[in-house]
Amino acid sequence: MRVDPTANLDVLVAGAGAAGIAAAVSAGRTGARVALLERGPFTGGKATAAMVGTICGIYLRGGSEARYAMNGFPRGFCEQLAARSGTRPVSGVNGLWFLPYHYEAFKALGLQLLQEAGVKVLLNTSIESCHAEGDRIISFTARSDEGVMGISASTAVDCTGTGHLAQLAGAPMIRARRYQQPAQVFCMRGLRADDEAALSMAVTRAVLRADRTDHGPVSVVPGSLRDGQACLKIAFHEQVEGTTDFGALQARGQRMASELAELLRANVDAFRDAEVSLIAPEVGVRTQQRAQGRYTLEEQDVMTCAKFTDGVANGAWPIEFWGAERHVEMRYFDEGGYYRIPVGALRAATLNNLFLAGRNISATEQAMASARVIGTCLGTGYAAGVLAATTALGGDMDAAIESVRRAQVYI
Ligand SMILES: Cc1cc2nc3c(=O)[nH]c(=O)nc-3n(C[C@H](O)[C@H](O)[C@H](O)COP(=O)(O)OP(=O)(O)OC[C@H]3O[C@@H](n4cnc5c(N)ncnc54)[C@H](O)[C@@H]3O)c2cc1C
């Protein structure tokens, strides 16, 4: 086994989704030696591979214009992303605000910020094992096309979305019998349409009339209609389970997208001359197992907008639960409201040098149905990166928590 040049890191970040980018950048900005490992060929995680298309949770609900739910890194990231994508915040149903973005802009912005922060980025590289002794992870191995490499790092941030690193370290996990419904996104170009709401209704009508039983509702990704191209999201019927065959799910997602494109071409005028331009390379899996933290964020914390005194990131999106039924269940707290996520949800229960971020923070399935959105993932990622770097460099943890709070949670 070779020893990688990233040996003797201060912080190892696993997973380069929204949370991993934020964690690695914030850790890098402290001056720590940081590497970010991503098993896929590009950065962004679900935001790019599943082509989610809109950033939720970065604005407060209500009001006549978008008001940020967090400052600092999450706000700066979204402002730069909007500028690169040529998009603006959009107001949707029930006063919800979100930001449409371009997938390539997301990837490019992430890479630029990582480079500026001095982070070593290793793509196509998976964390494969780690070895814990007592309350610390001592060493890691990762695999790439070039083989297996050994890595040593003082601290780690698990941003894999599935608690993969925590699981490899033998840490306790949060598991459910069933997780939320996944979805497949794909895009079509050559549309004759300029009204997204009308297009969305025409799609819904065509799908209902066809009475297809192999998938759930289909919707236009909000804010995606532009220059004759739009993205569509197909809900799967079934929820994800521990036994789900993701390879088969992936193949079905690609097939459903092609079949639906045919159906729309044959039945909806706006699609008559349209063609598929892109099928998301990954099925959008919303939640899976995650690591158990020192505190587990609960539904009640979200719904009562709890403000923990050590809260390091704000959550502002309602509980959006995609269950087994054919519709999504939304549960709102007051307009303008938000909750604060405490440090304990970002610290592994039993390992002192493992931090958690993104859809891998410690939260119940209901609380995660709010905290998993990209805006919140950027906030928990930023916080976890600072805390991991502070631990690695032997800094003052209370001061680090206060600096994160000053940077992003006070609004
Ligand atoms: C269908 C769908 C629609 C959604 N719609 C929205 C929306 O409109 N707006 C919104 O804000 N949010 C939405 N979300 C939620 C949001 O996209 C995700 O929750 C969020 O992007 C998760 O970010 P993350 O960084 O925590 O994890 P992920 O994006 O899952 O990133 C984890 C990364 O870790 C990598 N990884 C995993 N294991 C390893 C390993 N062993 N070694 C190295 N790398 C590893 C993965 O390849 C991945 O890149 C949606 C999600 C889905 C599925």
pLDDT tens digits, residue range 182-196?
999 999 999 999 999
Q: Tell me if residue 385 falls in helix, strand or coil.
A: helix
The CATH number of whichever domain residue 111 belongs to comes to 3.50.50.60
14 and 119 co-located in one domain: yes
CA distance 43 to 27: 17
Residue 46 CA, ligand 1 centroid: distance in Å: 3
CA distance 66 to 156: 34
Mean pLDDT, residues 314-328 taken together: 87
Q: DSSP state, 59? A: B
State the pLDDT confidence band at 178, using cuts at 50, 70 and 90.
confident
Supply the pLDDT for residue 114: 98
Let me know how many helices (H) and strands (E) the chain has, helices first: 11, 22
Taking the CA of residue 357 as reference, the ligand 1 atom at the shortest distance is: 26
In order of 81, 319, 365, 407, the CA distances from 341 in angstroms are 24, 15, 15, 15
CA distance 186 to 85: 18
131 and 208 co-located in one domain: no
State the pLDDT confidence band at 379, using cuts at 50, 70 and 90.
very high
268 and 168 co-located in one domain: no
- Atom 7, ligand 1: residue with shortest CA distance: 54
Summarised one tens digit per residue, pLDDT across range 127-151 is 999 999 999 999 999 999 999 999 9
319 and 385 co-located in one domain: yes
Taking the CA of residue 21 as reference, the ligand 1 atom at the shortest distance is: 25
Mean pLDDT, residues 277-298 taken together: 96
Taking the CA of residue 20 as reference, the ligand 1 atom at the shortest distance is: 25
- Atom 53, ligand 1: residue with shortest CA distance: 284
CA distance 72 to 81: 14
Q: Distance from CA of residue 255 to its chain's centroid?
A: 25
Taking the CA of residue 128 as reference, the ligand 1 atom at the shortest distance is: 41
- Atom 49, ligand 1: residue with shortest CA distance: 45
Q: Tell me if residue 163 falls in helix, strand or coil.
A: coil
Mean pLDDT, residues 314-341 taken together: 92
Residue 238: give the domain boundaries.
183-279
157 and 299 co-located in one domain: yes
Determine contact, residues 296/362, Cβ cutoff 8 Å. Answer: yes
State the pLDDT confidence band at 240, using cuts at 50, 70 and 90.
confident
How much is the mean pLDDT over the chain? 95
171 and 254 co-located in one domain: no
7 and 128 co-located in one domain: yes
pTM tops 0.95, yes or no: yes
- Atom 42, ligand 1: residue with shortest CA distance: 126
333 and 265 co-located in one domain: no
124 and 105 co-located in one domain: yes
The CATH number of whichever domain residue 271 belongs to comes to 3.30.70
236 and 168 co-located in one domain: no
- Atom 13, ligand 1: residue with shortest CA distance: 373
**Range name among 140-149, 318-327, 396-405 with the lowest pLDDT average:** 318-327
Domain ends where: 223, 249, 279?
279
Residue 194 CA, ligand 1 centroid: distance in Å: 30
Q: Ligand 1 pocket: which residues have CB below 6 Å?
A: 14-20, 37-40, 45-47, 50, 52, 54-57, 126-127, 159-161, 164, 183, 284-286, 358-360, 372-375, 377
300 and 403 co-located in one domain: yes
195 and 213 co-located in one domain: yes
**Ligand 1 pocket: which of 374, 376, 380 to mutate (most atoms <8 Å of CB)?**
374
Does 3 have pLDDT greater than 60?
A: no
Does 393 have pLDDT greater than 80?
A: yes
Taking the CA of residue 183 as reference, the ligand 1 atom at the shortest distance is: 1
Residue 369 CA, ligand 1 centroid: distance in Å: 13
Residue 17 CA, ligand 1 centroid: distance in Å: 6
Domain ends where: 257, 279, 301?
279
In 3D space, the residue among 404, 379, 348 whose CA is nearest the CA of residue 155 turns out to be 348
Taking the CA of residue 372 as reference, the ligand 1 atom at the shortest distance is: 19
